[in-house]
Structure 1
Amino acid sequence: MKKNFIIFFVLLGIISQAQVKKWTLPECVEYALENNITVKQSELDLEETELNKKDAFGNFLPSLNLNSSHRWNIGLTGDPVSGTNVNATTQTSQIGIGTNVDIFRGRQNINQMHRANLEILSRQYQLDDMKDDISLFVANAFLQILFNKEQLKVLRGQQQISSQEFKRTTDLVEAGALPKGDLLEIQATIASQEQQIVNSENALQISKINLAQIMLIEDYENFDIEDVEYTIPPSSILNESPNTIFEKAKETRYDIKIAKTSVEIAEQNLKINKGALYPSLTGFYNFGTSYFYNKLNPTLPSFKDQISDNKGHSLGLQLNVPIFNGLSTSNNVKRNQVNVERTKNRLEQASLDLQTSIYQAYNDTKGASKAYEAAIKTLEAREEAFKYSQERYNVGLLNAFNYSQSQNRFEAAQSEVIRTKYDYIFKLKVLEFYFGIPITDIN
């Protein structure tokens, strides 16, 4: 029975390990966007601007207020029934309802509604821009894991070659065909490779943790991505001119849209403040009634009769013409005029920054492409040189030190191909990203 339990838990552990999820890049991006705290905060900001729009809509609606009061007067006071002053303790109750409606306010309400709509649009652009940035962070971290995995694979492959040479060299040393120094050189090479493998394993684990943290996943030990070896994706983006990419990016990049919307918001704020220079016209209507009690006057009508008889209505228009208010209104207009110019400068600067980034990304991508091609040529040459060294070493025409140096150069060339490959992939995708191609499409 005990043996069965042990077998059960062993199998359960094997099944659990087999069920560890291997994340794809689109899944990583989607999960990060759904769980990122900054994104959630930005979504709340968007909800707040929706409330601001409701406030702006409410400015078009009339106000409606119910009011009531009850007061005691002790001493000389007027009796509304007799029309004389009496020296007594009296009570007065009043109740009413009133409404006000803006008829004209210099188009301020309309401009506030336009501004509210623009603020919603701006917040949405900011949210989308933030998601783009997070997607780039995730893609970069994802590719870093792939690079570290391939790097580790190369190191382990080289160690396997060294282990085979160690066995062969051991036999030759024991047979007296090679000096013991060759064996020691191979041992040193294997020890160095083991150290490199440990460092590479640590780098791989750190890169996994980095991506998991971006995604807000706390189970670092079981986090991993899919084991797919990516090749350079086919792309025609370098056939486009930097200026063509820039013109396309101006239509799609959210940082430009945010800057344009900021100009429009500033212009609406200017219109709102200019509206305060115009006269305002408000319509009002009030209805009310009252009750008066004086214990010295028993002839006063009842509460019900007074409430019915004392009813009154008032309605009218109120015109407010601004003449002088300490220069505050005119100064606010000037401040907003300055702010409009400031946002226009920011838009121009955002456009210049985008253009600079695109030209830089274009040149970086071309440089990364050439570096990758050069690394492949170097690898081909180093591989041939290593094969030649291996052949000479096998027949005793090359000592272990020179053989180890050739192997190290071959290993370095392999690592450089991996590094330049993923550097080129990421820079290529960034350039395509400016052109409107999703960052998650790296196949």
Structure 2
Amino acid sequence: MKNLIICAAFLGCFAFAKAQTSPNPNNQKQWTLAECVEYALENNISIKQSQLDIETADADKLNALGNFMPTVNGSAGLSENTGLSFNPVTNNAQTTTFLSVTGRINVGYTLFDGLRNVRQLQQAKIAQIASLYRLDKMKDDISLFVANSYLDILTNKANLEVLQSQNQVTLDQIERTQELVDAGQLPEGDLLEIRATSASEQQQIINAQNAVTISKISLAQLLLIKDYENFDIADADYDIIDESIASRSVDEIIAAAEDNRSEVKIAEKNVELAEKSLQIAKGAYYPSLSAFFGYDTRYTDATSFSQTLDRDNPTRTEVIGTVEGTGQNVIGEFPNTITTIRGADPFIDQLYQNDGIGYGFSLNIPIFNGFSTRSNVQRNQVSLKRSEYQLEQAKLDLESNVYQAYVDVKGARESYEAAKRATESQELAYDYATQRYDVGLTNAFDFSQSKLRYDNSKINLNQAKFNYLFRLKVLELYFGIEPSDLKL
């Protein structure tokens, strides 16, 4: 009775595990690798940040274009004065309360600044292209992360399927062994050995289920998908392995990588940016010439004093001196004026009456500025040299990475072939051990060890196969295949 209860418990655990891993139980969407990559390229935060860098580069380019445009600024002022003040129209001092309004428009234009505005525009265009290359590199990196996470799920699923399949064989073997034990053909210890093997396999199945769940969550988080429970990938047969890229020569792949990969292109643009920065720094040695134009006007409501000729008595005489010796007075005749208080002219009239313009050129010649220009030039020369070294290193790294990826593909392929041969051999050994066990020529421990070696060989085969697929995806990206075109 105790044996029946144990068998029933094992069968119940297996049924639960089978239900947990049954394909698409809730008819939820199953993602292909291409769909995962495409979704990540549209929603990944790192890619969105790289896209913001492009927008920043666009703003920098717009700012550089603005250096070729004139500057136009307007200003206006409103004030009220009480007491002794100067009338802004007549410039006379008077004690009163009056309101005044002033307005000004200034236009400036840089005619020459050592070609710095030209270099800044060129630099902004290069930075814009560099930001596009950085976005491409980020897409490649994210695509590799997605492919790796996707293949992790496939590996864990394949391992879980192996464990479940082999556990079903063990459960069947328990039934046969129970019959042989009941018939007295096998000892009770063989049955206990197989039951212990089944219990160990159940534990491995639970661990494998957890590995599948964790790998799914990792990919879902990479894709920014919140519904972890319903996220799953498409189950398909991945035994057919495309060797179209791996069959090419390493020199051909390196040449394609240099034409398509962004690492070297980014380093090249960084050199160009450093060159432009050096040219901009050297532009400070040259004089700068600018033109300016200004227009201003004013209004006040203050009253003013005006002098008008007295029509009734237009002239007046005054003694202006005496003749020396005779003492005779010298009489002078002057216009006879009357001082009258004059109100403020209308606002519009004053804008026209009181306006004025100013224009001219401004030349700035650098003579000595505390070595700031020279030190800035030296720093940019160092930056240029550093970027040139980084370009050389980027080329070496790319060549090394392609070589490494090429060797990894070859090694992973050989490992896969070796694992496949080992699995075939272990399968034959397991079949032979099963036949011997069924006729009582071997004990349960030896049979369990043979089955364990066969199970491990199948798990190693899964790992070798999907490792080879991932290495192949890396090589495809180096060869220039678009991330969205990655397929299994």
So what's the TM-score if we normalise by structure 1?
0.91
Superposed displacement of residue 170, structure 1: 0.6
In the alignment, structure 1 residue 190 sits paired with structure 2 residue 198: yes
Q: Which residue of 2 aligns with 1:317?
A: 361
Q: Which residue of 1 aligns with 2:487?
A: 442
2:293 to 285, 301, 325: 285
Check 1:79–1:34 CA distance in 2 against 1; reply closer, same or farther (3 A cut).
Answer: closer
- Contact residue 232 and residue 421 of structure 1 kept, 8 A: no
2:371 to 327, 348, 358: 327
Q: Which residue of 2 aligns with 1:299?
A: 342
For residues 25 and 184 of structure 2, the distance between their equivalents in structure 1, rounded to whole angstroms, comes to 49
- Contact residue 88 and residue 296 of structure 1 kept, 8 A: no
Superposed displacement of residue 223, structure 1: 0.8
Q: Which residue of 2 aligns with 1:433?
A: 477
Q: Which residue of 2 aligns with 1:5?
A: none
In the alignment, structure 1 residue 167 sits paired with structure 2 residue 175: yes
Q: Which residue of 1 aligns with 2:74?
A: 66
- Report the residue type matching 1:125 in the other structure: Y
Check 1:178–1:282 CA distance in 2 against 1; reply closer, same or farther (3 A cut).
Answer: same
Structure showing greater radius of gyration is 2
1:20 to 12, 21, 28: 28
1:98 to 106, 109, 133: 106
Q: Which residue of 1 aligns with 2:284?
A: 276
**What residue ranges of structure 1 are gaps of 5+ in the alignment?**
1-15
Check 1:36–1:80 CA distance in 2 against 1; reply closer, same or farther (3 A cut).
Answer: closer
- Contact residue 274 and residue 333 of structure 1 kept, 8 A: yes
Matched length: 428
So what's the TM-score if we normalise by structure 2?
0.83
For residues 201 and 376 of structure 2, the distance between their equivalents in structure 1, rounded to whole angstroms, comes to 70
For residues 82 and 162 of structure 1, the distance between their equivalents in structure 2, rounded to whole angstroms, comes to 113
Secondary structure in structure 1 of the residue aligned to 2:285: coil
Q: Which residue of 1 aligns with 2:212?
A: 204
Check 1:313–1:209 CA distance in 2 against 1; reply closer, same or farther (3 A cut).
Answer: same
1:224 to 228, 232, 243: 232
2:458 to 394, 414, 424: 414
Check 1:441–1:80 CA distance in 2 against 1; reply closer, same or farther (3 A cut).
Answer: closer
Q: Which residue of 1 aligns with 2:406?
A: 362
**What residue ranges of structure 2 are gaps of 5+ in the alignment?**
1-23, 306-340
Superposed displacement of residue 307, structure 1: 2.7
- Contact residue 103 and residue 298 of structure 2 kept, 8 A: yes
What's the C-alpha RMSD, in Å, of the aligned pairs? 2.2
For residues 191 and 88 of structure 2, the distance between their equivalents in structure 1, rounded to whole angstroms, comes to 122
1:389 to 433, 451, 463: 433
1:260 to 262, 268, 274: 268
After superposition, give the CA deviation of every residue in 1:103-137 in whole Å (9 maximum; x if it has no partner).
11111111111111111111111112111111111
After superposition, give the CA deviation of every residue in 1:60-104 in whole Å (9 maximum; x if it has no partner).
111112222345566766567767655666665332222111111
Q: Which residue of 1 aligns with 2:415?
A: 371
- Contact residue 46 and residue 123 of structure 1 kept, 8 A: yes
After superposition, give the CA deviation of every residue in 1:176-234 in whole Å (9 maximum; x if it has no partner).
11111111111111111111111111111111111111111111111100111212422
Check 1:208–1:79 CA distance in 2 against 1; reply closer, same or farther (3 A cut).
Answer: closer
- Contact residue 88 and residue 298 of structure 2 kept, 8 A: no
Secondary structure in structure 1 of the residue aligned to 2:235: coil
- Contact residue 232 and residue 425 of structure 1 kept, 8 A: no
2:44 to 14, 36, 48: 36
Secondary structure in structure 2 of the residue aligned to 1:239: coil
For residues 438 and 142 of structure 2, the distance between their equivalents in structure 1, rounded to whole angstroms, comes to 53
